Structure 1
């Protein structure tokens, strides 16, 4: 995949960012890709208000990937500790999954975590039932820490617990 521009999101891009995330994570459109949650969760993945707050937070950055002016991917990097950053919401347009864009976004996130937040480690959480996705991250150097975290719903749904993965940067 060539001609990809990756840069930080601005607040005026939330309107195009939100539908991309929903298409990739939820509903029938997500099933065009292999990393969706459409069989596990049926609500919205995020909201316009949440995305606006993330973009406004100085301890977070959302990186966008564009090709020929079209938004095709994104992810979030957050500063969560002295040398620790968190990777979240890695999103690739469903029809472009398995094209190498996810690897490019992941590399950009790791570089951004070091440059922007001085991170030496990156962590992420993945629903434990998504074994293919966990294996994908493991092939890129992320290692399960043995820690689990509850999925943020009430009442709790243990079948959706997260595993924590970490990588030294």
Structure 2
């Protein structure tokens, strides 16, 4: 049996090794980028997770191809899965838009934890300190001590002013 599937077994081992190397490489690249730009650790781990899921899906498709699963069979399974996912996401489009906005906020990095921002909303203007930035929403604390959860997609749609930025207080010693 080993001789019969020799090429497939070797190719599978190569795909698994490449998958592991890509996970380590992309993780180190994202973490070094986050360190240089001073991005929150939670956001960094979230982006590493998203990238790892994408790489695993590519590896899975490669393994299907190696083991002789026909392309039209993969298309039928994927189109069925995407149809179900599409209906679910259409019903929950705000979740997808918040995740996308979270990715955009991660890479554009317009503000960070500790910044006091003012959100220019005609009906409900908000000013508060950013407490935490997550994949779906931002936690803020107002001057009155209220804790707010604000969706990421609205942060990209509304005008925002950074009132004060968090400053690094450092003591210099000789």
Q: TM-score range by the shorter chain?
A: under 0.3
The TM-score normalised by the length of structure 2 is 0.26
More helix by share: 2
The TM-score normalised by the length of structure 1 is 0.27
More strand by share: 1
**Higher Rg of the two aligned structures:** 2
